[in-house]
């Protein structure tokens, strides 16, 4: 079972939270980690390559900072360019069937801020519903998201360990 983590962070080298999560994740076998902003700094996405990478992996994780109530713009462009009619969805678009997808995101706010009546009005799950719907339209299975809220250095270490356990569990339940 192969896992691909597509990291979409405009300033990954400066991100304490995302670097901490990736540091733990790199310990997992059969886990391919990619930095979308490094690979496509010119924003010209190689669609054929991305299609092949998707076909080669069973679990695809989109890791990104929660960015103005959504994902960073290059990841949105990736969705638009890669998940095309006739390949990912539509009459001939069956290539994502059987694939599992997960979002792993980091926030600057607390969990309590992401709820009805909280500072941000909605839960993260409500905000990422368009991505969930996109994956469903492409016949993929959307797993529960992993969310690392604003946390202390000690809590971040625990989040990183929890992230690895969530990914490991998802890997174990996929057919080999």
Write out pLDDT tens, residues 72-94.
999 999 999 999 999 999 999 99
Give 169: exposed, middle or buried? Use CB within 10 Å, 0-12, 13-18, 19+.
exposed
7 in Cβ contact with 64 (< 8 Å): yes
pTM, entire model: 0.91
174: pLDDT confidence band, cut at 50, 70 and 90? Answer: low
**Which of the given ranges, 43-57, 59-73, 133-147, has the highest pLDDT on average?**
43-57
Question: Higher-confidence residue: 70 or 147?
Answer: 147
At 148, is the pLDDT very low, low, confident or very high (cuts 50, 70, 90)?
confident
The answer to whether residue 176 scores a pLDDT higher than 60 is no
* pLDDT of 26 higher than 70: yes
If you average pLDDT over every residue of the chain, what do you get?
87
pLDDT at 118: 67
Burial of residue 56 (CB within 10 Å: 0-12, 13-18, 19+) is exposed
Q: Give the CA angle between residues 121, 5, 44 to the nearest 5°.
A: 90
| Pairing relationship of beta strands 146-148 and 100-106 according to DSSP bridges | parallel
Residue in the block written with tokens 């016949």: 139
Nearest to 2 by CA among 84, 43, 57: 57
- Token digits of residue 135: 């994956």
Tell me: the pLDDT tens digits for 39-61? 999 999 999 999 999 999 999 99
CATH number corresponding to 3-173: 3.40.50.360
* pLDDT at 150 (0 to 100): 74
């Amino acid at each position: 079972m192969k896992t691909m983590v597509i990291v979409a962070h405009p300033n990954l080298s400066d991100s304490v939270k995302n670097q901490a999560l990736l540091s733990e994740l790199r310990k997992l076998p059969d886990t391919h980690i990619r930095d979308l902003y490094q690979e496509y700094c010119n924003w010209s996405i190689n669609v054929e390559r991305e299609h092949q990478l998707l076909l080669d992996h069973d679990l695809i994780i989109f890791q990104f900072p929660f960015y103005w109530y959504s994902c960073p713009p290059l990841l949105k462009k990736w969705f638009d360019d890669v998940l095309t009619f006739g390949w990912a969805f539509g009459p001939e678009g069956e290539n994502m069937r059987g694939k599992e997808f997960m979002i792993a995101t980091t926030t600057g706010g607390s969990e309590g801020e992401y709820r009805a009546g909280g500072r941000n009005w909605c839960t993260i799950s409500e905000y990422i519903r368009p991505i969930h719907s996109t994956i469903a339209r492409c016949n993929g299975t959307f797993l529960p998201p992993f969310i690392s809220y604003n946390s202390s250095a000690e809590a971040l270490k625990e989040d990183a360990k929890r992230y690895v356990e969530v990914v490991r569990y998802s890997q174990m339940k996929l057919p080999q």
